[in-house]
Amino acid sequence: MDATESLLMVLDNDRASYESLLALAGEAIEAAPTCEQVESGIWSIPQARTFLLADSIKEFVENAVDDVQAENKVGTLIAVQMIQYTLGQVEWHDVANHYLATLAEQSSHA
């Protein structure tokens, strides 16, 4: 299992994170059409959705890691360093596309 799959497994199995990330996906979908890069012709709307969401997810995960790091315990700090290394290997656009697809699937069933 690679870093991206591992991260998805953790996020999908934590209900609060899962729901937060689906909400972020909804926000990215809404923001994409009026994104500066779309309006200037640099990105398509689907690209904007992916790029905006990837940035939001990365920030969400980094903030969670920062919260753990704030505990400032030796074992925790070692774990945080390992997590930060692994996060450098995550394909954030793949994570974003996973949540965009999940949200689209849920919307089609509603």
Please spell the DSSP secondary structure of the chain, one letter per residue: --HHHHHHHHHHHSHHHHHHHHHHHHHHHHHGGG-HHHHTTSS-HHHHHHHHHHHHHHHHHHHHHHHHHTT--HHHHHHHHHHHHHHTT--HHHHHHHHHHHHHHHHHH-
pLDDT for the residue numbered 75: 66
pLDDT digits 0-9 by tens, 68-86? 777 766 667 777 777 888 8
Which has more pLDDT, 49 or 70? Answer: 49
Mean pLDDT over each residue of the chain, to the nearest integer: 91
Which has more pLDDT, 86 or 53? Answer: 53
* N- to C-terminal Cα separation, the chain: 32
The model carries a pTM of: 0.87
Q: Which domain holds residue 33?
A: 3-109
pLDDT mean over 39-43: 97
- Count structural domains, the chain: 1
